[in-house]
């Protein structure tokens, strides 16, 4: 995706732009996918790249949708983030470089990963629509 930031600003709703393009975070427990349980695939809101299968979603009680692994390793890019004064690993969509959230090492088996993702950075397609 080779959109300029100005093109992204016009393409995305203001709240989505703030999260995806400016690295913002939605308030905990405010996102529409936090307690979402349908079967299907979670997509990047900006470019519609498939990111997570619903089978990898779990309730981390963190306030954001959480997944223990992406669909494939290639759909994610990672960037060190020290913006809060401590080290975290930012998760970005590989296809469009939109900010999705962060990944932590306190998740469940089998990966022990917690991909903590903003609902505003996601879309969802139910299994029968895939």
- Catalytic sites, residue numbers: 116
Residues 60-97: b if buried by 16+ CB within 10 A, e if exposed: beeebbbbbbbbeeebbeeeeeeeeeeebebbbbbbbe
According to DSSP H, which parts of the chain are helical?
A: 5-11, 14-20
What are the φ/ψ torsions at residue 97 (nearest 5 degrees)?
65, 25
Distance CA 37, CA 41 (A): 11
């Amino acid at each position: 995706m080779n959109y300029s930031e100005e093109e992204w600003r016009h393409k995305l709703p203001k709240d989505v732009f703030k999260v995806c393009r400016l690295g913002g975070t939605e308030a905990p427990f405010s996102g529409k996918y936090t307690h979402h349980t349908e079967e299907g695939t979670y997509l990047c809101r900006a470019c519609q790249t498939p990111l997570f299968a619903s089978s990898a979603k779990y309730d981390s009680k963190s306030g954001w949708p959480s997944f223990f692994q992406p669909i494939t390793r290639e759909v994610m890019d990672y960037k060190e983030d020290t913006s809060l004064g401590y080290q975290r690993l930012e998760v970005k969509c590989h296809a469009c470089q939109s900010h999705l959230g962060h990944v932590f090492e306190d998740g469940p088996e089998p990966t022990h990963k917690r991909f903590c993702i903003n609902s505003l950075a996601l879309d969802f397609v139910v299994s029968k629509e895939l």
